[in-house]
Every structure is written in structure tokens, then in C-alpha cells.
């Protein structure tokens, strides 16, 4: 797509960096996921890897799949002149699945699964399943720009982080009491194992503080970016030139309502021939 320099538009050249950028991120995540999986497999020779370790090792592969689909979408757009709806839908779904899987992992770690307890209670499993489903559906509605889902997602974030931090605090209190009991009873054989778990939960709480701040910052910035747009009057729109796309946004006086207005997107039927002539 080409735009005139005076129209304030952005040409396709600004997006040509996306294929190599997504390819680079895909390689980085693939190497990290492969390293994590390899370490998990190597630890199997020394100790039996638990379900939590295998779940944590599988989460980065979901991100690799999402980035691979993103690379495939933009590569096919620039070099094959194809825009696959199914590939873009796969990127959309994989992004939601990745974020949901990551928060499920955070839930499990905060509950002490395979760390302070070998299995969760029935009520904990049901609560986690309900919270995960609600979080997934809220993300789907928010990414689909369904009205009021931005507020629902913010409330969901607050509930999720409250539950995670609450369980981390509980486990830290339990481990702190165990350390005090071990020191009072001089049971030094268990001290190192309990102290390692205590330090791990403290580091996990610090990491979750960073995740909470970053997630809320990204959510606020994305929510505000939806209101950023540019518009032009009728005279400027007449001079707007694009060989492929024309986008029209109706602008009414302030006293009139924009409730029933629509955005018109029209593609030129001879887009490719015009592009070849212009080049």
C-alpha cells in the first residue's frame, strides 16, 4: 500500500521489518524452550521430574508456535501476496492460550504444587479450573473488542494477582514456621531443603511483582491506544491517494450522534496492476 507523503499515512515499508523481527523472536524463544526441555530431560536421570516441571517446559513452545504463525502470516503477505485468515486466527488463539497457560503455571506455583504439596485438594482444583476458564473467556472477549470486556479483564487481573499473592504469602508463612521449628529442635537434616523452598518462593514473589506491574502497564497502554486515531476532512480525503486501500471515517458535527456511523474500507479492484504501474 502506498500513501502520499502529505496524507500522514504509513506505507508498507514500515511493516517490512516484521518478518525478520518475528523470525528472530521465534529463534530466541525456540532456543530457550529447547534448553528448558533439555534440562528437564537431563534432570530425569537424577530425579523424577514432576508434572509441574513438564508443564513449565511446555509453555514456551506455545509462544514459539504463536511467533511462528506470526512470521508465516507476514512473510506470506510480503512475499506471496497472501493474507491467510486461518493463520491470523491461529496467532490470535495461540496468544490467548499462551497467556492462560502462563497464569495457570503461576497459579500452580503459588499453591505450592509439587513444592510444598504433591497434589491439590478437590476444592483448589475446581477453583483453579473456574478461574482459568473465566480468565480465558475474558481474554477472548477483550481481544475481540467486545464492549465492557476491558473492564472485566481489569477486574479479572486484580482477582488473579490477589489469589496468587495470597497463596504465596501463605506458603511463605508455613515455610517460615517450619524453619523456626527446625532451628528450635535442631533438625539440621531438613533445614537446607526447607530453606531452598523458602528462598524460591521469595524470588517468585519478586518475579510476580514485576509481572503484575508489566501486565497492568501493557493493559492500560493498549486500552488507551484504542482511542488514538487520525481523521481528515472532505478536502483532504479527496487528495488522499492509495493504490490499494481507501478508508473512510464519517465525521459529524459535535451535536449529532456517531452511534450508527461505520468505517468504510474499500480495496481497489486493480490494486496489483496499479502497484506495478506505479513502481
pLDDT tens-digit profile of 163-185?
Answer: 999 999 999 999 999 888 888 87
For residue 15, pLDDT over 50 is answered with yes
| Mean predicted lDDT score pLDDT of the chain | 78
Average of pLDDT values for 141-164? 88
| Mean pLDDT value across residues 125-154 | 89
Question: Which has more pLDDT, 130 or 253?
Answer: 130
pLDDT at 1: 36
pLDDT tens-digit map of 54-83: 888 899 999 999 999 999 998 888 888 787
The rounded distance, in Å, linking the Cα atoms of 265 and 127 is: 45
Supply the pLDDT for residue 29: 94
The number of beta carbons lying within 10 Å of the beta carbon of residue 26 is: 20
Report pLDDT for 232: 53
Better pLDDT: 132 or 278? 132
Residue 160: CB atoms within 10 A of its CB come to 20
What is the C-alpha to C-alpha distance for residues 102 and 124, in angstroms, rounded to an integer?
18
pTM of the model: 0.70
Structure letter (DSSP) for residue 188: G
Residue-level pLDDT at 78: 83
Range with lowest mean pLDDT among 107-111, 170-174, 188-192: 188-192
Q: How far is it, in rounded angstroms, from Cα 26 to Cα 87?
A: 16
Amino acid at each position: 500500500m502506498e500513501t502520499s507523503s502529505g496524507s500522514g499515512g504509513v506505507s508498507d515499508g514500515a511493516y517490512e521489518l516484521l518478518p525478520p523481527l518475528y523470525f528472530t523472536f521465534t529463534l530466541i524463544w525456540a532456543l530457550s524452550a529447547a534448553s528448558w526441555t533439555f534440562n528437564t530431560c537431563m534432570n530425569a536421570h537424577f530425579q523424577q521430574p514432576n508434572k509441574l516441571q513438564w508443564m513449565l517446559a511446555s509453555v514456551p513452545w506455545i509462544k514459539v508456535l504463536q511467533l511462528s504463525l506470526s512470521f508465516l502470516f507476514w512473510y506470506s503477505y510480503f512475499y506471496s501476496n497472501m493474507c491467510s485468515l486461518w493463520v491470523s486466527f491461529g496467532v490470535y488463539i495461540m496468544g490467548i492460550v499462551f497467556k492462560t497457560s502462563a497464569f495457570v503455571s503461576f497459579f500452580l506455583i503459588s499453591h505450592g504444587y509439587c513444592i510444598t504439596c504433591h497434589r491439590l485438594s478437590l476444592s483448589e482444583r475446581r477453583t483453579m479450573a473456574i478461574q482459568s476458564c473465566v480468565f480465558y473467556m475474558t481474554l477472548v472477549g477483550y481481544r475481540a473488542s467486545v464492549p465492557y470486556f476491558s473492564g472485566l479483564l481489569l477486574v479479572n487481573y486484580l482477582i488473579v494477582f490477589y489469589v496468587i499473592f495470597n497463596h504465596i504469602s501463605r506458603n511463605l508463612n508455613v515455610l517460615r514456621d517450619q524453619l523456626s521449628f527446625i532451628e528450635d529442635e535442631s533438625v539440621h537434616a531438613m533445614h537446607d531443603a526447607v530453606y531452598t523452598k523458602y528462598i524460591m518462593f521469595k524470588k517468585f514473589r519478586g518475579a510476580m511483582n514485576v509481572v503484575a506491574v508489566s501486565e497492568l502497564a501493557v493493559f492500560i497502554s493498549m486500552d488507551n491506544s484504542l482511542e488514538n486515531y487520525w481523521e481528515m476532512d472532505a478536502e483532504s480525503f479527496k487528495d488522499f491517494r492509495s493504490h490499494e486501500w481507501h478508508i473512510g471515517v464519517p465525521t459529524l458535527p459535535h451535536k449529532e450522534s456517531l452511534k450508527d456511523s461505520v468505517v468504510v474500507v474499500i480495496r481497489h479492484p486493480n490494486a496489483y496492476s496499479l502497484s506495478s504501474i506505479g513502481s
